[in-house]
A and B are shown apart, each in its own frame.
Chain A
Amino acid sequence: MQSIGEAFGLALQLVASGDGDLLEIVLLSLRVSLTATAVACLIGLPIGALVAIGRFSGRGAVLIVMNALMGLPPVVVGLVVYLHLSRSGPLGFLGLLYTPTAMIIAQTILIAPIVAALSRQVLEDLHAEYAEQFRSLCLTRLQTVQALIWDARYSLLTVGLAGFGRAVAEVGAVIIVGGNIDHLTRVMTTAIALETSKGDLALALALGLILLVIALGVNAAVQSVRMTAARHAHV
């Protein structure tokens, strides 16, 4: 067990030296979480848009479920995905358990509700403003959704970044379905958990630092997107 100062120094060295193992873990983390974010946006955005402009019976219940799903516990998602992908599960024949694909599936399930619920809110607010004008112009439902998504694109980008932030920082789901296998499914959060329990604080801290930098980067990106939107009067 190292002292905090010693571990911090070693961590900076690891980051500065571009350690191969470290880089591999970081790149896998980014690959898994970026893919999960993209898929979650493909699923969540249309659902959010449909609920935003749709008026149907049971809409209130759908809203409650959507908002509740935003707080899905990662370990529960991990467990459910594990049950489905395990050898005796309904999707066991795919052989996906303990692969990056399983991790992508778990993170997608985790953040798709976030994308759906937040984009629903963004699009519904904009629709409240545009609805009467759009009805006057006799737009079709598809034209309405396309126009709303285009005009809300900056806000929707921040929704995607929020989803990515949640995905890259979670540990519970990926450790269950990925198994934290070295060189295969080890990502930053699972490695931090493992290395900390082993007492190798330098690697854990190095990964923690990178994770913090990514979090900062995501927030800086959100801020920059907002400022660009304001500059172009898209607010």
Chain B
Amino acid sequence: MSDTALPLATKLKDAVPAAPLMPLSVRDLTLRFGETTVLDGLNFDLGSAGCTMIMGPNGSGKSLLLKLLHGLMAPTSGHIDWGGQDPQAVTKRQALVFQKPVLLRRSVAANIDFVLKTRGKDRGRRDALLDHVGLAHKADQPARLLSGGEAQRLALARALATDPEVLFLDEPTASLDPASVLAIETIVRDARNRGMRICFVTHDMGQARRMADDVLFLHGGRIAEHTAARDFFCEPQSASAQNYMDGRLVV
């Protein structure tokens, strides 16, 4: 199709990109369940590019923070500002890969087709997406028979199918073997290098060193430290982060 044959609306849509979601500004973010305060007055900013590793001991509120940022939950109080955009419209421009991938009871290819169709994307991209995550040869297999690593790669391909500006990953490589971890990290690094903003929750110190541009360390529902990766790993400022890295019990 020649450029002149494109409908006017399409040309306009392509010509005027939506205002960017980044930078992110979080102010006094608090989440309570009854009497229990899970996140306690978080304040931080994220720049427009890179990979932020969110770390901290179990129960420090990492996964809940991702869900709040993605708009799956509402905070008890505080503000999340994605580049001044309407909070209602933000979720659609982001994607979240859960620790345990939720795959449809369909074939591998149909899992991608479903997202491309419901989000009005070009369905011809399916094979390229599966190829990108190394699952082209499993396209016709039932998704629920995939191994843990394959299932997570499919979840990642599904997330990428939505063309997110921000990609949240909630411990996507927990309990995966080294080859699967490497495959996932390669895909995520590629996405980051293409300009996608990454927020990555992990407990794996080696992974954090490999992937991080900056580290947000949570402890007891508060931000113990938010610094550039180099500073965090060389000279952690907080005792809790130092203890965590030394493998000492942090409660």
Listed in ascending order, the chain A residues whose CB lies under 8 Å from chain B are: 129-130, 132-133, 135-139, 143, 147, 151, 232-235
Name the distance in Å between B185's Cβ and chain A's nearest Cβ: 22
5 tightest CB-CB pairs across the interface, nearest first?
A233-B142, A133-B102, A233-B144, A234-B105, A138-B92
Name the distance in Å between B149's Cβ and chain A's nearest Cβ: 17
A134: nearest chain-B partner, CB-CB: B102
B143: nearest chain-A partner, CB-CB: A233
Question: Which of the 9-residue segments B9-17, B54-62, B114-122 touches chain A?
Answer: B114-122
Tell me which residues across on chain B come within 8 A of A232, comparing CB atoms. 142
Tell me which residues across on chain A come within 8 A of B70, comparing CB atoms. 136
Q: How many residues of B contact A (CB 8 A)?
A: 20
What string of 1s and 0s marks CB contacts (under 8 Å) between B216-232 and chain A? 00000000000000000
Q: Are B72 and A139 in contact (CB under 8 A)?
A: no
The distance in angstroms between the C-alpha atoms of A136 and B102, with both chains bound, is: 11
A152: nearest chain-B partner, CB-CB: B105
The distance in angstroms between the C-alpha atoms of A202 and B115, with both chains bound, is: 60
| Interface membership of B96, Cβ < 8 A | yes
The distance in angstroms between the C-alpha atoms of A138 and B143, with both chains bound, is: 21
Tell me which residues across on chain B come within 8 A of A137, comparing CB atoms. 115, 118-119, 162
| Interface membership of B91, Cβ < 8 A | yes
The distance in angstroms between the C-alpha atoms of A151 and B105, with both chains bound, is: 6
The distance in angstroms between the C-alpha atoms of A130 and B114, with both chains bound, is: 13
| Interface membership of B32, Cβ < 8 A | no
Q: Are A136 and B144 in contact (CB under 8 A)?
A: no
Contact of B102 among A129, A138, A233 (CB under 8 A): A129
The distance in angstroms between the C-alpha atoms of A136 and B63, with both chains bound, is: 14
| Interface membership of B130, Cβ < 8 A | no
Q: Which of B99-133 contact A (CB under 8 A)?
A: 102, 104-106, 114-115, 118-119
Name the distance in Å between A98's Cβ and chain B's nearest Cβ: 46
Q: Are A136 and B91 in contact (CB under 8 A)?
A: yes
Contact of B114 among A129, A147, A235 (CB under 8 A): A147
Could you name 30 residue pairs across A and B whose Cβ atoms are closer than 8 Å?
A129-B102, A130-B104, A132-B102, A133-B98, A133-B102, A135-B72, A135-B91, A136-B70, A136-B91, A136-B95, A136-B96, A137-B115, A137-B118, A137-B119, A138-B91, A138-B92, A138-B119, A143-B118, A147-B104, A151-B104, A151-B105, A232-B142, A233-B105, A233-B142, A233-B143, A233-B144, A233-B145, A234-B144, A235-B105, A235-B144
The distance in angstroms between the C-alpha atoms of A41 and B104, with both chains bound, is: 24
Given contacts A147-B118, A232-B142, 10 further A-B contacts (CB under 8 A): A132-B102, A133-B98, A133-B102, A135-B91, A136-B95, A137-B118, A151-B106, A234-B105, A234-B142, A234-B144
B114: nearest chain-A partner, CB-CB: A147
The distance in angstroms between the C-alpha atoms of A137 and B119, with both chains bound, is: 8
B141: nearest chain-A partner, CB-CB: A233
Tell me which residues across on chain B come within 8 A of A136, comparing CB atoms. 70, 72, 91, 95-96
